[in-house]
Amino acid sequence: MFLQIFSIVAPLFIIAAIGYFYGARVRPEMRITNQLVMDVFMPALIFHVMIQEDFFPSQYVSLMFAGTLLMLGSGILAYGFSRLVGFSWRSFVPPAMFSNWANLGLPLYVFALGEQALGGGVVLVVAGNILCFTIGVYIFSGKLSSFDVLRTPILIAVILGAVLNGLNVTLPEFVDVPIEMLGQTAIPLMLFSLGVRLTRVSWSDSKAALVMAAFCPIVGVGLAVALCQVVPMSPLHQNILILFGVLPPAVVNFMLAEQYQTEPETVASMVLIGNLLSVVSLPLVLYFVLSGMS
């Protein structure tokens, strides 16, 4: 079991570590690369998954619903906890809600559960992006979002993929193959980009960050296990939800905090330490998931 867990998590952390050390030494400008991931590679991956003959959107409704409840529940508990201990709720709640569902989540599901888990991971990415760029932007900015998320390439890819899937349209191979190739670029590039991004964030507020590093997996996995008992889902989707629950805070939290000047240093520390300490929480939860599958 140990070797199986190691073989799953090692590629994730090795690629992210390569990005981290490269970023620390070279300090590359990743803005264009990250833009390409969000505007080209990730939409291509999502679109390609959604137009496959074995992808049926209706089978993911329960998982998407449960994932949304998990994020909202994490936010509510984080709000109460932050008020109780005296942390700023505007900087504490979003990292508890919005985890690394794309950069770390998608590779984790595939390595741990197989290619059949990719579809479930994609719908959680969609749900996460919608909440992050509406509720998340409201928390950080104090203003209601203009729902610009509905015009992002990821959502456009979802809509186009759903339409073609519903119409049973099969794209010709010369169109489908390059889309698939672009999508395959997304996962390793996201991990590498995550590593580079972590060189730009801070250790400055370690107290709140250490609390967040424990809060995220404990609350996330706890809510996921509880939701598995009340929301009807297949065993595969239950395992995806549990792994979704253990994910550390996403880098996008830092980007939004910096954009709206909502304690960006504190949020940056939560992202950095949360991702570094996931080297402990991820293997533990993987052991739990894999033990239940055997």
pLDDT digits (tens, 9 = 90+) for 179-217: 999 988 888 888 888 788 778 766 666 788 899 999 999
Segment among 12-21, 156-165, 197-206 with least mean pLDDT: 197-206
Task: Round to whole Å and give the CA distance between 277 and 63.
Answer: 27
Task: Round to whole Å and give the CA distance between 151 and 164.
Answer: 19
Strand partners, 249: 99
2-289 CATH fold: Na+/H+ antiporter like fold (1.20.1530)
pLDDT digits (tens, 9 = 90+) for 68-77: 999 999 999 9
Task: Round to whole Å and give the CA distance between 63 and 217.
Answer: 19
Locate the DSSP E strands across the chain: none
Work out the pLDDT band at 32, boundaries 50, 70, 90: confident
Asked if residue 251 lies in contact with residue 187, where contact means CB atoms within 8 angstroms, the answer is no
Please state the domain extents for the chain. 2-289
